[in-house]
Amino acid sequence: MQTKENLSGEINKAIQVLEKGGLIVYPTDTIWGIGCDATNEDAVERIYQLKKKEDTKTLSCLVANDFMLEKYLEKVPEIAYDIIDLSEKPVTIIYDKPKGVAKNLIPPDNTLAIRVASDKFCRYLINKFGKPLVATDANISGRPTPLDFQEIDEAILKGADYVVNLNRNQKTGTPSSIIKLGNDSTVKIIRE
């Protein structure tokens, strides 16, 4: 059972690692993810290396709220708020023109996939940390997404600096929906 004390303790331990440029494996509002400070290029590079993923492919970020979302984008199209509020499951939106994040997090098309976290742990963690977190599946690139903690590859667990000790016996959700949203308000559904 998740108590306020162990939630707070896990947040503090994760933040200590994140502040030093470390990697965490953590339960997100969808599935288990690998995370780091989304503004730290070295930390982002470590995630690419751990996942054996080319750094030309995109990683997603989590933010705590709309205010943080606005801080890291040149513009948030008005329709984004409706999509976030009306979605029945977590939704990751690919936005144009991110700012203030690690350069190696931004692909050549100058977009960034961001989700406003919907679970208590992630919202508290990100809010207290004060910066967005990278949130990418806790898997080696090309391998299946682990649907619970037990399915996470040992190499991922060993490669992280801290593994959050919450919800390890619970089945996770499913990956988020992904929508590409242009600053001209064009909407393209990538994954339902």
**CA-to-CA distance for 181 and 25, rounded, in angstroms?**
28
Rg of the Cα trace of the chain?
A: 15
**CA-to-CA distance for 156 and 59, rounded, in angstroms?**
16
Q: What's residue 168's pLDDT?
A: 84
> Maximum Cα–Cα distance for the chain, whole Å?
45
Please report, for the chain, the start and end positions of each structural domain, with discontinuous segments joined by +: 4-191
pTM: 0.92
Q: Is 148 exposed, middle or buried (0-12, 13-18, 19+ CB in 10 A)?
A: middle
Q: Is 184 exposed, middle or buried (0-12, 13-18, 19+ CB in 10 A)?
A: exposed
Three-state DSSP class for residue 100: coil
pLDDT tens string 78-124:
999 999 999 888 999 999 999 999 999 999 999 999 999 989 999 99
Instruction: Tell me the pLDDT of the chain (192 aa) as tens digits.
Output: 456 668 899 999 999 999 999 999 999 988 899 999 999 999 999 999 999 877 666 789 999 999 999 999 999 999 999 999 998 889 999 999 999 999 999 999 999 999 999 899 999 999 999 999 999 999 998 898 888 899 999 999 999 999 999 888 877 677 788 889 887 878 888 877
Topology of the domain covering 4-191: DHBP synthase (3.90.870)
